[in-house]
């Protein structure tokens, strides 16, 4: 048993706490922080960790909020125990958005781990080169196209796991369009190169990849013998309602029920997210609400200023936040942890099924 930065790691098989279970088959740890602890790992988390620790690649498809991230968060602790702390164990997480990197990195710090992302500050970038972080978050562009970072991961002996978060974006962003259009983010199409730079297991995580996308991802990363964990994405607590409307009806009329609710209840209004398929439509809906003198609303899309995005995310992570209606594109549906959202409206839904599911 040892204590480090607010965490208590227990490798024993029996503790005198009746409600806590140790999984002896994995020699797992209980992980305590000052305000919370993990009582029990879910079966898929144990299965994922066991295969990664055995050196196997894992393809993990699990619904949003199911606990995928814990599979790589617990990895360094378990790896170090299995190797008697013989060497450092760092985890490289390739993520599509800075917002996700920042949120995950800050959360890991609250657990006592060292964590950062490439480009955060010049000082921390120097520390990254010295390999002083247990968790390093980055984008494909940074780790593959910038020489110093590519060289760093190539020469490092400390990376024991590579994580591809939101793996479905590899297909959606890295490939050319049907008409031969340039890929949205070309380096996503070359992300399989990471396999040749770092010799360690790969964990691919997604919540919204269909069978065809799964096969494509396995091919790109040469996952010839990987262990697959595929969860049923169906959520029995979600009800779907479809209402057809004419495009000639003014937006304010279509959303009159919600405008009325906002005016009456203001900050006590139930929280809604309205997803739009384009930035223009998002802006049109936002303007319609503003014209009706609605407050407690905001707009979120890929072109939104990063500082504004951060303020929106912080507010939406508070169940009692001021924003009660968020009008957004699918940029707000990836890797976020918005609280108290029980109502989601898809206004002119996404034509791409994966995007619709993630929203």
Residue 227 has phi, psi (to 5 degrees) of -95, 125
Q: Look at residue 97 and tell me whether its pLDDT is greater than 90.
A: no
**pLDDT value, residue 24:** 43
**pLDDT value, residue 289:** 96
Cα–Cα distance, 160 to 52 (Å, whole number): 10
CA-based radius of gyration for the chain: 22
**Does residue 289 or residue 352 have the better pLDDT?**
289
Q: Look at residue 36 and tell me whether its pLDDT is greater than 70.
A: no
Mean pLDDT (the chain, rounded): 83
Of 49-58, 175-184, 322-331, the poorest mean pLDDT is in 175-184
Contacts of 85 (CB under 8 A, 6+ apart): none
Q: Look at residue 22 and tell me whether its pLDDT is greater than 50.
A: no
Q: Please compute the mean of the pLDDT values over residues 158-164 and round it to a whole number.
A: 96
Tokens standing for residue 172: 């959606």
Q: Look at residue 116 and tell me whether its pLDDT is greater than 70.
A: yes
Q: Fold for domain 251-358?
A: Rossmann fold (3.40.50)
**pLDDT value, residue 7:** 42
SS3 annotation, 314-343: HHHCCCCCCCCEEEECHHHHCCCCCCCEEE
**pLDDT value, residue 174:** 78
**Does residue 178 or residue 119 have the better pLDDT?**
119
Please tell me the pTM assigned to this model. 0.78
Q: Look at residue 14 and tell me whether its pLDDT is greater than 50.
A: no
Place of tokens 């995950």: 104
Q: Look at residue 112 and tell me whether its pLDDT is greater than 80.
A: yes
From the CB of residue 88, how many other CB atoms can be counted at a distance below 10 Å?
Answer: 16
**Which band of pLDDT confidence, cut at 50, 70 and 90, is reported for residue 100?**
confident
Measuring CA to CA, how many Å separate 27 from each of 18, 46, 58, 125, 294?
18, 11, 20, 35, 55
Q: Please compute the mean of the pLDDT values over residues 221-226 and round it to a whole number.
A: 90
Count of H-run helices and E-run strands, the chain: 15, 14
Q: Please compute the mean of the pLDDT values over residues 121-135 and round it to a whole number.
A: 96
Beta-strand relationship, 325-328 and 202-206: unpaired
**293 touches 252 (CB < 8 A):** no
**pLDDT value, residue 25:** 44
Q: Look at residue 64 and tell me whether its pLDDT is greater than 60.
A: yes
**Which band of pLDDT confidence, cut at 50, 70 and 90, is reported for residue 5?**
very low
Q: Look at residue 261 and tell me whether its pLDDT is greater than 60.
A: yes
Measuring CA to CA, how many Å separate 304 from each of 15, 22, 61, 262?
49, 45, 29, 23
Cα–Cα distance, 166 to 172 (Å, whole number): 11
**Does residue 88 or residue 31 have the better pLDDT?**
88
Q: Please compute the mean of the pLDDT values over residues 289-293 and round it to a whole number.
A: 94
Strands (DSSP E) contained in the chain are 2-4, 7-10, 30-32, 58-61, 90-94, 115-117, 135-138, 159-164, 202-206, 227-230, 271-276, 297-300, 325-328, 341-347
Report the DSSP beta bridge partners of residue 12: none
- For CATH 3.40.50.300, the residue range(s) in the chain are 2-230, 251-358
Cα–Cα distance, 30 to 14 (Å, whole number): 11
Measuring CA to CA, how many Å separate 218 from each of 94, 164, 335?
16, 12, 22
Q: Look at residue 26 and tell me whether its pLDDT is greater than 60.
A: no
Q: Look at residue 256 and tell me whether its pLDDT is greater than 60.
A: yes
**Which band of pLDDT confidence, cut at 50, 70 and 90, is reported for residue 285?**
very high
**pLDDT value, residue 203:** 98
Q: Does domain 2-230 have CATH number 3.40.630.190?
A: no
């Amino acid at each position: 048993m040892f204590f480090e930065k607010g965490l208590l790691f227990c490798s024993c098989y029996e503790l005198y706490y009746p409600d806590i279970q140790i999984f002896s088959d994995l020699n797992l740890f209980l992980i305590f922080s000052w305000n919370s602890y993990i009582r029990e790992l879910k079966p898929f988390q144990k299965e994922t960790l066991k295969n990664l620790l055995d050196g196997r690649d894992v393809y993990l498809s699990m619904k949003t909020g199911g606990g995928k991230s814990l599979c790589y968060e617990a990895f360094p602790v378990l790896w170090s125990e299995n190797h008697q702390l013989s060497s450092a164990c760092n985890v490289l997480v390739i993520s599509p958005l800075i917002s996700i990197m920042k949120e995950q990195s800050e959360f890991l710090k609250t657990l006592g781990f060292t964590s950062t992302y490439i480009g955060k500050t010049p000082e921390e970038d120097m520390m990254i080169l010295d390999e002083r972080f247990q968790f390093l978050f980055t984008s494909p562009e940074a780790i593959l196209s910038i020489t110093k970072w590519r060289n760093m991961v190539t020469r490092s002996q400390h990376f024991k796991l590579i994580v591809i978060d939101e793996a479905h974006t590899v297909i959606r962003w890295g490939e050319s369009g049907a008409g031969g259009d340039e890929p949205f983010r070309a380096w996503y199409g070359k992300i399989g190169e990471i396999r040749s730079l770092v010799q360690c297991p790969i964990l691919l995580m997604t919540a919204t990849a269909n069978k065809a996308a799964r096969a494509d991802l396995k091919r790109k990363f040469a996952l010839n013998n990987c262990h697959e964990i595929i969860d049923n994405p169906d959520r029995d607590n979600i009800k779907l309602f479809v209402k057809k409307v004419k495009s000639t009806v003014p937006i304010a009329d279509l959303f009159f029920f919600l405008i009325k609710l906002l005016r009456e209840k203001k900050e006590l209004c139930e929280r809604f997210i309205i997803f739009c398929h384009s930035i223009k439509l998002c802006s049109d809906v936002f303007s319609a609400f503003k014209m009706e003198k609605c407050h407690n609303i905001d707009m979120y899309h890929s072109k939104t200023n990063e500082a504004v995005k951060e303020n929106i995310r912080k507010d939406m992570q508070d169940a009692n936040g001021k924003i009660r209606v968020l009008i957004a594109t699918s940029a707000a549906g990836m890797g976020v942890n918005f609280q108290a959202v029980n109502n989601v409206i898809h206004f002119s839904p996404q034509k791409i099924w994966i995007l619709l599911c993630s929203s």
